[in-house]
Structure 1
Amino acid sequence: MQLVGLLSIPLLTIFVRCTWSASCNPSDPNWVPLPPEQYGNYTALFDPNGRPLGFQSSVIKYFETDAGQPTPCYSVDNVDDKRIEIMAESSPPGSVICVEDQLGREFCDTKIYDCRQAPGNTAYFRFFCDAQGCSDSDVTFWFRFSVSLPPNELDPELWCNDRNTDEYPSSLTIPLPTGRELIPITQPSAASALTSSVSVIFAILFLVTIGVPFR
């Protein structure tokens, strides 16, 4: 009986791991990529349907992961022999979120970046929270999948190496009004500082000469 009990522990672990592995339902959405020339800018951050830098918004519900409920899951098609770049960040920043593919490869961080080999012609990715990430409230996050060129056009590994790993929605800055430019802040030179000091000294001497009292 003890042997059976010991054997049941790893079997239970495998079962739990399989139930947690990413498996999207047919009703779950496919990832719809956006051409770079159509990427949204800063204003897209405040549009419910906005796609800032091609990212898309989703929500991990409060206690959804711990309760075993379905979490946001997306499939990416036509990726056989290609690399998939996965980028995601919580909004507002700070919450730890996780992503897992159908092979059980998991990555967790407040900002997720990974460029991995596709596990098949269709890849599935499930987003969820770690033990503490969604313990207090829903977590909104931005995510984006980018797919490399076919291997006969470009080495997928080279494609990964050339990607911009800092291109998150939080990197977008407020645009300046049309025709306006920031006025550069310049530090006074040593010569101008000396001139100002000499001017102050001469002003004090002049006031002393004409008898203006100082207190």
Structure 2
Amino acid sequence: MEFAVSLVTWLVFLTALSLLYRVGLSVMASGGFCARGGPYQIATACSDSTVVFGSLALPVIIVAVLVNAGFVKAWGPALAMFFWPILFTTMGVAFLRGARLDGYADVMGYILGVIFIVMSGTPFLLVKVLRGRTGWDVLALRVVPASAQPDIHVTLDQAGIPVVTRDAPRVTSGAANALSGAAFIVACAMIALVISDLLYTSV
């Protein structure tokens, strides 16, 4: 059940993020501004897809993260840990790409793109992993559940001094497990791209 919830929430998150990315590019391609409705004449009208998915994408992302954090404890990479880096890196790339569009070409796009990527924390996370301060097991598809954590025992020696001993962990997350988690995210991303493309073109 946890794996099913993890799979669905990752798919929903990445699909909504892909739609938000496309909405951002659509707005930037129209000059950076568009509108729909109201009593005034609109110079650049937003497309139906921009209106629908621009309104729904972010709330859906938040719901997917909350559901994943509430129900998934052992199966699947923790979405709550990765949603911020993935979200801001994606939008940073959108700004960098948007800065090259004819309708939006502006140095501010490059500035915002760099700022968003720095705010994502992804560069710092990569440095921590490469320097060994954070293990690759953060990507593990099957994390060590609380029940498998080593038990701690406190006993007294002959002098009455407390001695702490720890059992060996019964479950470990190695490099292969980390790779399986990365493959899980990549597979979800590929499926999400197909779903988002179908949704975006259908509206």
State the TM-score, normalized to the length of structure 2: 0.22
Q: Which of structures 1 and 2 has the larger relative contact order (alpha carbons within 8 angstroms, sep 6+)?
A: 2
Decide which structure has the larger Cα Rg and report it: 1
State the TM-score, normalized to the length of structure 1: 0.21
